[in-house]
Every structure is written in structure tokens, then in C-alpha cells.
Amino acid sequence: MADIGAHFIEIGLMDRLATKDTAIHRLDPRAKLLTTLVFVATVVSFGKYEVSALLSFFVYPIALIARGDIPARYILKKIILVAPFAILVGVFNPFLDREPLLTIGDWSIAGGWISLLSILVRFILTVGAALILLACTGINGVCLALEKLGVPRVFTAQLLFMYRYLFVIMEEGMRMVRAKRCRSFSKQDTGMKAFGHMLGHLLLRSLDRAQRIHSAMSCRGFDGHIPSMKQLRLTSGDVAFVAGWSGLFIIMRLYNISQLLGSFITEVIS
Amino acid sequence: MSHHIIEAEDLHYKYPDGTSAIQGVSFRITHGESVAIVGENGAGKSTLLLHLNGYLLPTEGALRIGDYSLTKETLNEVHRTVGMVFQDPDDQLFMPTVFEDVAFGPMNLGFPADEIKKRVYDALETVGMLHLKDRPPFKLSAGEKRAVAIATVLSMSPNILVMDEPSSHLDPKTRRKLIALLGTFKHTKIIATHDLDMAVDLCERTLIIHKGKIAADGPTRELMQDEELLEQCSLEKPLKLQCCSLCGKVSV
């Protein structure tokens, strides 16, 4: 439990990364959001056995990490933290899909393994792109962009508050777990039932808190709209960013760049 | 200056579940007064406070805040007049950075950008937290959070400050600093608290609430000497008015 807590606290680093001032950070949040969406859409649209064509897509996260001065290690750690979900999705493929798809010498590789690999690569690309977007835009920037792009305010406000109170509720939950542990000694069997009560209690407390927050907000003139001082202005650089990258993604979707590059190199060598 | 006045007339409030939390409370607090509201747990302090910012509307009786009587229609004016500092700063600090949080009120009031900036800087300067303006609020210490929460209210330049337990969860030195800070404010102040020593320091007048009614209303020092009254309302003489157990002297 303490580990999960530590990871959540570490999300705070995201906020600090988002305050950096690089060419990538200065881009309009809408430009970055749109590019990320096109990226995710093209990556997801590949067939289930595709691996090699996906590899060329790594150019986008790598470029952003380099230009945006984002610690690659931190992003990797975060990807690994959520990796179990992706692994769970694909882990049975090798057993269900035993058709040999590829043979290297005496070895034949079943289609299941390839599709598992494809799922993992896609997962790393999409989650990585989302994390990088967050690290070089910040949650407020992302929410602002969403709102300007027409997403209803209810959702963007929801997202902002979830992010803000994640820490508070996590902490509350952890205090309860700690308090329970102090009185449960080595007896673990009553655990599940007690956890049910604790979850219910946490829900009630969160509802109470939501009510208090609402009253604090209405005291300060809240009328359903969270105001922002930031004015967004789309520059030609932003348009070039979206158009350039999206164009590249579509080309990479249509042509297998890694394969073309490979055959080109082998041709040059021979 | 009538806009600094709070006047309650035979206030009643009954919660939807039938609990009668306030049963006929009347008082008048005038411009520049500093009033402590004390009482045992569940006496009705918080319920009363929630009326002062218009979160609850009285089921019976009337409340005048500044130039307005409290109704649904005047809520906006009431919110502008009364700055409410909540007990848990985490409930009050919901924006991503300290700056945006302090700017939230002024932005909702529709001030121009440079006016908002000036108000935010002034408010943060007043509470001595300007250096934290770009930090996310959940990373601050309890004392910093409290000070920023006060700044979020100051930036709207309210006439009346209402505070719920401002000194709770603070270490002695931070508590002392907060008391000194609150002492510099010229606003009409209403402070609900269990910290009776702070009440003696900050408030010349005290309302003692007991079972939803006003048990006493008078000068703080007088009421705090009345041991019988305090005993009746589950309170205790403030430490500084008690005889020192070591030397037998009273500190004030």
C-alpha cells in the first residue's frame, strides 16, 4: 500500500515537469493534444500482427522527450507501473493462437506471441504519448485544451477535480489502512469485510468533502465555470507541429517505413 | 457603514432529518468587531457559520448581512461581503496552483487581468506566502495551507471575515503567527473556535452557544472568568486565565 502511495505522490513530479519552458512546453496545448490523438488513433489502427511498422512510431515520443527535456526514465517507470493491465489483455494470446506465423531457422513463432508483442508495443506507445503530453502540458493545460476543443465543461472540471483530490483521498484511505493494521495484529481473515466498511466510509467522507468544497466554491462566486487566466493563441508554429506530425503518422501508417529502410540498407550493402 | 454588520433575529434551523441545530439565536455584530463563537462539540457553531455564508438558509427567523437580508436572490452579494475560511484548507484550495486558487474569487467576480494579478499579489503578500504562488496547494504544509486559504478570501476584499477553527492543527509557533496576522486585520471578524486562549487574544466579545441557543454574549474576559457558566457549557477557563500550576500567578 505504501508503494502505491509513493507512486501517487510521485505524480507531483508531472506538475513540476509541466512548468518547464522549452519549445515543446510553449506550444499551444490544443496542438499537442490533437497531435497526440492522431498519434494514438494511427497506432491503434494497425492490424493485430503488426510489429515492425509500429517501431517507426517511436520517433514521436523520443523527439518530444529530447526536445521537451523530460526524463525518459521517469516516463518508463510510470509505463511499467500500469503495464500489468496490458499484459493481462494479451497474456493468453500465445495459448489461444498457436498458428505458426514466422519461422526463423528451426524455430517457428506462433501468431499469439506476435500479437502479444504488438499489444505491448502499442501500449508503450500510446501510454507513453499520453504521459508525455501530460508532462509537457500539465493537467490544467490539457483540460483547457479539451474545453476549447468543445468538450463539455462538466467533464473537464471533473477531470481537474479528480486530479486535485486524488492525493487527498489516497491519503485518507492510507490513514485508514494504517489505523486498521495497528489493530488487526496478524489476523488477516477479517480483512475483506473490514475493507468493505472502509470503502463505504471513504465514499461517505468523500461525499461530505465534495459538499464542503462546493460550498467553499460558491462562496467565491463559482457558477459552474472554472475561470482561467490563460489565453490560448494558435500560432503558425502550432499549426506546423500538428500538420507535420500528423502527416508523418499517416505516411507511417500507409507505408512500413522500418521495412523500407531495412530493404534500402540491405540493397546499399549488397 | 452598514455593510459591515451582521444581524440575526430569532434564527432557527432544522436539518432535513429533524435535528434542530439552532433554536432561536439573535445577535448583532457591528463594524470592526471581533467576535468569538465558542461552544462544545455539536452545540451548533458550524451550522450557524454555514448560515453566515449563505450555504444554509434559516428555516425561521432572519439574517441581515451587510446591506442585504439573506435570501436566495442576495447570495452573490453575501458571498462578496463575507469571506469564509473553512476548517479544512484542503476543502478550500482546489485549483492547480496557489496563484490560480487565490485568483479564483476575483476571476469569478469578473475583474480585469491586471487587477486580478494585483489582488492576488497583495493577498499573498499580506499572509507572507507570495513565494509559494506557483506551487500546487496540496504540497504545502498545514500552516502554509491555512495562510493561503486566508489569502483566497482576502483577494476578494470582503468586509467581514468568518473563520472556522483557524488555529486547529497548527504547531504552537505557526498558531502564534496566525494569531498575530489575524490581529492585524481591520475587518469585522467572526471566529468559531475551541481555542479559548486565541479567543482571549483576538476577540473582545464572545458568543457562547449551548444546545443551539446563545448561553451568553458579552466581553470575552468576563465570560471566560465565569467558571459556573463555562462548566455548564462544557468549556474550561483559558490556560492564560488559570493560575500557573508552578508559580501560582495568572499570566494576564
Nearest residue to B43 via CA among B229, B219, B233, B203: B233
In a domain, B250, yes or no: no
3-state SS assignment for residue B27:
strand
B83 to chain A nearest CA, in Å?
A: 8
pLDDT at A174 over 90: no
B53 to chain A nearest CA, in Å?
A: 7
Q: What is the pLDDT of residue A1?
A: 44
- A101-A106-A109 Cα angle (round to 5): 25
> Using a CB-CB distance cutoff of 8 angstroms, which residues of chain A are in contact with residue B100?
140, 228-229
The maximal CA–CA distance of chain A, rounded, in angstroms, is 76
How many residues are listed for chain A in this entry? 270
B108 and A223 within 8 Å at the Cβ level: the answer is: yes
Mean pLDDT of A59-80: 91
Which residue in A156, A209, A212, A220 has the most chain B C-beta atoms within 10 A of its own C-beta, making it the best mutation to test that interface?
Answer: A220
Q: What is the pLDDT of residue B108?
A: 86
In a domain, B249, yes or no: no
> Using a CB-CB distance cutoff of 8 angstroms, which residues of chain B are in contact with residue A227?
104, 107-108
- What are A96's three cell numbers? 489461444
**pLDDT tens for chain B, residues 1 to 252:** 566 889 999 999 999 888 899 999 999 999 999 999 999 998 999 899 989 888 889 999 999 998 888 888 888 888 888 999 988 888 888 887 899 889 988 988 888 999 999 999 999 999 999 999 988 888 889 999 999 999 999 999 899 999 999 998 899 999 999 999 999 998 999 999 999 999 999 999 999 999 999 999 999 999 999 999 999 999 999 988 888 777 777 766
pLDDT at A122 over 80: yes
C-alpha B114/C-alpha B121 separation (Å) is 11
In a domain, B50, yes or no: yes
In a domain, B108, yes or no: yes
Q: Model confidence over A193-216: pLDDT tens digits?
A: 778 888 888 898 889 888 888 888
In one letter, which amino acid is A241? F
**Nearest by CB: A220 against B50, B79, B88:** B79
Q: How far lies A250's CA from each of A40, A57, A182, B231, B235, in Å?
A: 11, 10, 57, 79, 74
For residue A56, give the DSSP letter.
G
B96 and A15 within 8 Å at the Cβ level: the answer is: yes
- Residue of chain B whose Cα is closest to the Cα of A139: B96
B238 to chain A nearest CA, in Å?
A: 30
Comparing A92-96, A113-117, A186-190, B197-201, which segment has the lowest mean pLDDT? A186-190
C-alpha B233/C-alpha B16 separation (Å) is 26
Alpha-carbon dihedral angle through residues A104, A108, A111, A114, given to the nearest 10 degrees: -40
A219 and B79 within 8 Å at the Cβ level: the answer is: yes
Work out the pLDDT band at A101, boundaries 50, 70, 90.
confident
**Nearest by CB: A219 against B53, B90, B107:** B53
Give the whole-number percent of chain A exceeding pLDDT 70.
Answer: 92
Q: CATH number for the domain including B112?
A: 3.40.50.300
Q: How far lies B12's CA from each of A255, B26, B163, in Å?
A: 75, 10, 21
Q: Which positions ≥6 away from A9 have C-beta within 8 Å?
A: A167
Q: Which residue has the higher pLDDT, A270 or B72?
A: B72
Alpha-helical regions (H) of A11-110: 12-18, 23-26, 29-44, 52-55, 59-67, 72-90, 93-96
Q: Which positions ≥6 away from B214 have C-beta within 8 Å?
A: B25, B26, B27, B207, B208
Would you call A157 an interface residue with chain B, using a CB distance cutoff of 8 Å?
A: no
In one letter, which amino acid is B137? P
pLDDT at A107 over 90: no
How many residues are listed for chain B in this entry? 252
- Residue of chain A whose Cα is closest to the Cα of B87: A212
Domain residues for B20?
2-241
B88 and A140 within 8 Å at the Cβ level: the answer is: no
B84 and A167 within 8 Å at the Cβ level: the answer is: no
B200 to chain A nearest CA, in Å?
A: 28
Would you call B103 an interface residue with chain A, using a CB distance cutoff of 8 Å?
A: yes
- What are B178's three cell numbers? 496566525
> Using a CB-CB distance cutoff of 8 angstroms, which residues of chain B are in contact with residue A213?
91-92, 94
Would you call B91 an interface residue with chain A, using a CB distance cutoff of 8 Å?
A: yes
Q: Which range is most confident: A99-113, A118-132, A255-269, B54-68?
A: A118-132
The number of distinct structural domains making up chain B is 1
In a domain, B133, yes or no: yes
In a domain, B200, yes or no: yes
Alpha-carbon dihedral angle through residues B33, B127, B94, A223, given to the nearest 10 degrees: 50
Q: In the beta sheet, which residues pair with residue B69?
A: B64
C-alpha A198/C-alpha A180 separation (Å) is 9
Alpha-carbon dihedral angle through residues A140, A146, A152, A157, given to the nearest 10 degrees: -10
- What are B110's three cell numbers? 469578473
Would you call A219 an interface residue with chain B, using a CB distance cutoff of 8 Å?
A: yes
Mean pLDDT of A221-237: 79
- A113-A116-A119 Cα angle (round to 5): 155
Q: Which positions ≥6 away from A87 have C-beta within 8 Å?
A: A120
Would you call A21 an interface residue with chain B, using a CB distance cutoff of 8 Å?
A: no
**Nearest by CB: A218 against B79, B83, B134:** B79
Would you call B94 an interface residue with chain A, using a CB distance cutoff of 8 Å?
A: yes
What is the tally of helices (H) and strands (E) in chain A? 13, 2
- Residue of chain A whose Cα is closest to the Cα of B94: A164
**Nearest by CB: A140 against B76, B91, B96:** B96
Work out the pLDDT band at A129, boundaries 50, 70, 90.
very high
- B95-133 burial, b for 16+ CB within 10 Å, e for fewer? bbbbbbbbbbbbbbbebeeeebeebbeebbebbebbebb
Nearest residue to A210 via CA among A218, A220, A199: A218
Contact predicate B220/B226, CB 8 Å = no
Q: What is the pLDDT of residue B3?
A: 66
For residue B137, give the DSSP letter.
G
- What are B193's three cell numbers? 473556535
In a domain, B173, yes or no: yes
ipTM of the shown complex: 0.74
**Nearest by CB: A229 against B90, B107, B156:** B107
**Nearest by CB: B55 against A139, A160, A215:** A215
**Nearest by CB: A209 against B53, B91, B95:** B91
Q: Which positions ≥6 away from A47 have C-beta within 8 Å?
A: none
Contact predicate B81/B158, CB 8 Å = yes
A195 to chain B nearest CA, in Å?
A: 25
Which residue in B94, B102, B161 has the most chain A C-beta atoms within 10 A of its own C-beta, making it the best mutation to test that interface?
Answer: B94
Mean pLDDT of A69-95: 88
